[in-house]
Amino acid sequence: MSTAFVYAPALAHTRRNHPENHQRLAQLLPTLEQFGVLPALTAVNPQTATLEQLARVHTAEYIDKVREVAHRGGGVLDHGDTYVTPESYQLARLAAGGTIAAVDAMMAGAVQNGIVLVRPPGHHAEADRAGGFCLFNNVAIAARHAQTVYGLKRVLVIDFDVHHGNGTQHIFYEDNTVFFASVHMFAPYYFYPGIGSSHEMGEGNGHGYTLNVPLPPHVGDTGYTQIFQELVWPKATAFRPELIVVSAGFDAHWQDPLAAEGLSLTGYARVTQLLMQMAQDLCNGRILFVLEGGYQQTALTYGILNTIYALLGRDEIHDPLGPMPTPEHDVTDILRQLRQRHLIY
């Protein structure tokens, strides 16, 4: 089994006192070296996404706007949440192109699966707007690349970042060739982005191809595992994906400063192992994990390390932070309602 490793930390896309800054990945390489996993990975060089690749997802006007703001010396988009530095346009293209490079390596048979560690993240970026620290939607661009260049008919996008993947949902909302499943904390008016309720299920041809799992705070390892086993897995099986792309955010960890879910590093690793089994069962193990959020540095670093172990097929988990110290919120009722809504019997 071979695993692609794409690394583009975008050091010049950063802002002081902003949670999504270049320091997020500062401990990553030393930690991966310490645990000796790098030699087992297949390094894949990120490449700058072409305008054609970006335009499969984003409007030409929006791509121009990001370029112009960067060329003017930087600024902010999305009412100030999402910053642009002079280098951000190029680096966001590199992040998208890095995700594409992993798809290419997989489709060429050079690797079976992969992890894509790029910035800025992507899942809040819609076709025509930035959002939530995201400029270009890396995962959506990779899914479209797989469809356009390799003719894949069904791509499954799973988003376990603690925030709803509103950009990805928006892009594929009327599309039945990309199934979008998002498991996220949901609290309209005070938790970003405020959409992702269970009755958002897609429209037109896409009706039934969006699965939202909105959660109250403090759902933990047991609840997340149940959700993936009893809800996401049967929906994925029915969809029969040829490729699974994961929007991997590590901000559902109980110590994350921006959110209030209760996953531990062990729980994250168990979910990742489940997704690996799902990929083995459904699409010859073709699965890519693409970094989104995660703002507690130890949780992010070890979350990535554990994901790499899972991708390599090694049942090894490192959890220096331990479990959430308070009881977790039970998801039995939520799960029952969602299974009814999505016709799982």
Task: Give the active site residues.
Answer: 124
The token pair at 73 is 């010396």
Q: 307-330 as b/e, with b when 16 or more CB fall inside 10 Å? A: bbbbbbeeeebbbebebbeeebbe
- Rounded CA separation 170/153 (Å): 19
| Closest alpha carbon to 144 in 55, 215, 239 | 55
| Closest alpha carbon to 311 in 278, 273, 284 | 273
Q: 210-238 as b/e, with b when 16 or more CB fall inside 10 Å? A: bbbbbbebbbbbebbbbbbbebbbebbee
Sites of contact with Zn ion (CB under 5 A): 161, 163, 249, 251, 293
Biggest alpha carbon distance in the chain? 55
The token pair at 270 is 């168990």
- Pick 20 or 242: Cβ nearer Zn ion: 20
